[in-house]
Structures are given as structure tokens and as C-alpha cells.
Amino acid sequence: MTIGRTKKPKSGYVYFGKSVRKNGKAMEYVGSTTRTVKVREAEHKREVKKKNSKTWVGKGKSFKVTGKFWSKNPRKAERTIKQKRRSAYKAGKYRSKYSGKKTRTSPSKRRSSRRTYRSKSRSRRSYRSRRR
């Protein structure tokens, strides 16, 4: 290596995951990898299966990758995301994707008691704005 040159960062993925804890609470996870996200997800799932895991993900009862994006510098991108979330959280502006939600154990879908029907004369846009 020559003097005065910095090493170019290795490109890879920044990925997001959903970790369901033992009490049923769902939490967000942000990670980065220079390998494929599937390989990293498999490692996380292996960690969840361990009885005495010390890792953040391993302390949950399940883990699933929910999204990913390619980055030329994934370590920096992950750090930036975490810093922005931390500052937003301190300012009281950040709400997790899974805030206040506990995961359901039964796979059946819940049906709403009130059904809404749309007349043919109304547009889809006005229907959507009324529902919000």
C-alpha cells in the first residue's frame, strides 16, 4: 500500500429487519453486509435458534428481513440511518414501523365489523381521502 492513499470502502447492502421479541413486541433492526442479504439473514435466524444467544437479534424469537438497498459504503449508510433515527427519537418525532404493535399469534385475518361500499359515481381519490 502506498503512503497517502485511503482504502476504498467495499460496497454492499444495508438491510432492515423485523425482530419479534419473546414478549410479542416487534422491533426494527438495521444492519449492513458486503455479502448477500440472504446469507446474513440465515446467520440471524441461526442465532435466534440458540438458547443462550447474546446478540440483539438472537434475544428475539423470530427474525425476518423486511427491506434492503445497495450502497457504495454500507457501513457509513447504516451509521447515518441509526444517527438520524436516534436524533429524531430524542426530539420525539420518530415512530417505529412497529410502534405499539404486538404481533398476533393466530394467522387468521381480522375482519372489520363496519364495511364500506363505494358508489360508482364517486371517484377512487375522494373515497381514499374520506377514509383517512
Q: Provide the residue range defining the domain that includes 85.
A: 12-90
Q: Is residue 112 part of a domain?
A: no
pTM of structure: 0.68
Q: Is residue 108 part of a domain?
A: no
Q: Is residue 42 part of a domain?
A: yes
Report how far residue 62's alpha carbon sits from residue 101's, in angstroms, rounded to the nearest whole number: 15
Query: How many domains, in total, are found in the chain?
Result: 1
Per-residue pLDDT of the chain (132 residues; tens, 9 = 90+): 567 788 899 999 999 999 999 999 999 999 999 999 999 999 999 999 999 999 999 999 999 999 999 999 999 999 999 999 889 888 888 777 776 655 555 555 555 555 555 555 555 555 555 555
Q: Give φ, ψ of 17 to 5 degrees.
A: -140, 165
Who contacts 37 (Cβ-Cβ below 8 Å, separation ≥6)? 13, 15, 65, 68
Q: Judge residue 125's burial from the number of C-beta atoms within 10 Å of its C-beta, 0-12 exposed, 13-18 middle, 19 or more buried.
A: exposed
Q: Is residue 76 part of a domain?
A: yes
Q: Is residue 43 part of a domain?
A: yes
DSSP annotation of 58: G
Q: Is residue 23 part of a domain?
A: yes
Q: Is residue 102 part of a domain?
A: no
Q: Is residue 75 part of a domain?
A: yes
Report how far residue 14's alpha carbon sits from residue 85's, in angstroms, rounded to the nearest whole number: 15
Q: CA torsion sign, 90 to 96 to 101 to 104?
A: negative
Q: Give φ, ψ of 37 to 5 degrees.
A: -70, -30
Residue found under cell 439473514:
41
